[in-house]
Amino acid sequence: MGRLFLRLIEEDAAYELHAGLSSRDDLEDVVGADLVVDVTVPAVSPGIVEKAVRAGIPVLVGTSGWSEPRLADLRRVVAEVDGPGVLVVPNFSVGSVLATAFATMAARFYESVEIVETHHPGKVDSPSGTAIRTAELIAEARRDLGPVRAPHVDQRARGQQVASVPVHSLRLPGIEARQEVIFGGTGETLSLVHDTTSQAAYEQGIRVSLAAVTTVTGVVVGLDKLLPLGAPGA
């Protein structure tokens, strides 16, 4: 993702690279930038984001692992320093955003929901940030209905529960990214599947996010907040 961001930034005359850093470089090098993009790893991402916020620099976060507890900590930091906005994007694919929106719509109609997410072997975190976000949004959509029905979750093979939704993570060669949300109801199942076959799927979302992040206030989560997902005329 870092290489993809660098290419898109180099191709756009509106941006000039201040510094390209790895997760092991000195964070002081972000000082003086107008915008920080964090696409590192979950273990170091919170430190990078907090450093940028306290330096008064808006941040675009594309690193996985930003669950609701981490976001709550980030909101406290931003409020404490009255800092710049932070845009956290679990997935830059428009198709993925739509699939999650559809899953949120369906969540109220089914008591049983499970997620299977598959990524390449190089992905270091599991569940994926997209799966975590999807599960959290499903739980929010069902807030007045209660948690999803998930029997035998005490068994390790039943996956990890995220906001009551069992999530199963696969890491396999030959695949970029895939997420399936499976709903079970009386006499039927509904599956919503999104496949990413190339990183080109992220380019539109990255451009939209780069253009929007400096206008964000507080902590904003999700590419869906930047896209016109409502029905025409709504």
Of 119, 152, 168, 194, which one is the catalytic site residue? Answer: 119
Helix (H, G, I), strand (E, B) or coil at 122: coil
Question: How far, in Å, CA of 146 to CA of 123, rounded?
Answer: 32
User: Cβ distance 229 to 102 under 8 Å?
Assistant: no
State the Cα–Cα distance between residues 73 and 50, nearest whole angstrom.
10
**What does the DSSP assignment read for 98-136?**
HHHHHHHHHGGG-SEEEEEEEE-TT---SS-HHHHHHHH
Is position 225 annotated as part of the catalytic site? Answer: no
Which residue carries 């955003």 as its tokens?
97
Residue whose C-alpha is closest to residue 75's, from 207, 216, 209: 216
Q: Please confirm, yes or no, whether 119 is among the known catalytic residues.
A: yes
Q: Chain-centre distance of CA 172, in angstroms? A: 20
Among 204, 200, 181, 201, smallest CA distance to 191 is for 181
Which residue from 190, 104, 88 is spatially nearest to 143, judged by alpha carbons? Answer: 104
Q: How many residues does the chain have?
A: 234
Residue tagged active-site, from 18, 51, 123, 225: 123
Catalytic machinery residues = 119, 123
